[in-house]
Amino acid sequence: MENDWDKVIGSLSRIKVLSNKNNAPVTISGVPDDLKCIGVGTDAAVFQSLSTPAYAFKLYAKDKVNKVKIEANVYQMLGVSPFFPTCFASYDDFLVLSYEDGKTLFDCILQGIHIPETVVNEVEEARKHARDKGLNPRDIHLKNILLQNGRAKIIDVSEYALPGNDFRWEHLKKGYEQYYHLVDGNSVPFWLVETIRKWYNQQGKNASSYEEFTKTILKLLYKK
């Protein structure tokens, strides 16, 4: 029995996804006219088909395809949840997921779109749900949380099978509680958001404390 997405497989096979060093985003080429790229990560890129827009196809780089089954298993363990997409199928190098509309919290910050406290609370609920299913919710950041009709939707669960806590969400939550009111409703310049993101990735995780990192950021703001 043919699935709705079977007609897209041929087009997906024409796309090349190449991973890059230093955890840089993948490079893509050969995207057919009937597909559009809607997201790029460090291991994979996500595409939407014009003929079957209800689905998102997460296509992994050739040297990262071992992660397909791992992520598919994470979705299976999560089960049906309002906080995560649905995984309909997995193939050798891609997943078939439900397409999720909405703006990322990263875009909300850039565009001055209000992020309600309920979204933060729902991410906490989503993390508890994942832990209750035996998973380790991590790598949760502004670019993989959607504001969807006023609700939170987490669109990347690829690291939930890994051990350890990267504290990314804990730091974001504390930043929201302490500083979000200063920018709420205002567009934050892209250069500033990117600078903070890069600094955090380079040194924030290695800083002795969250407070040490935020002091560095506040010094940057006061100079501008």
| CATH 1.10.510-classified regions of the chain | 103-223
pLDDT in tens, 67-98: 999 999 999 999 999 999 999 999 999 999 99
**Domain covering 103-223 assigned CATH 2.40.160 in the classification:** no
Query: What predicted TM-score, i.e. pTM, was given to this entire model?
Result: 0.88
H or E stretch covering 103: strand 103-104
* pLDDT tens string 183-219: 999 999 998 888 887 777 776 555 456 677 677 666 6
pLDDT, tens digit, 9 for 90 and up, residues 119-158: 999 999 999 999 999 999 999 999 999 999 999 999 999 9
**Cα 127 from chain centroid?**
14
Give the pLDDT of residue 196: 81
Instruction: State the greatest distance between any 2 C-alpha atoms of the chain, in Å, as a whole number.
Output: 63
Long-range contacts of range 43-51, CB-CB < 8 Å, 24 or more positions apart? 43/19, 43/67, 43/158, 44/17, 44/94, 44/158, 45/15, 45/17, 46/97, 47/12, 47/15, 48/99, 49/5, 49/8, 49/11, 51/7, 51/8
- CATH C-level class of 6-98: alpha beta
Residues of the chain with CATH 3.30.200.20: 6-98
Query: What pLDDT digit, counting tens, does each position of 12-42 carry?
Result: 999 999 999 988 899 999 999 999 999 999 9
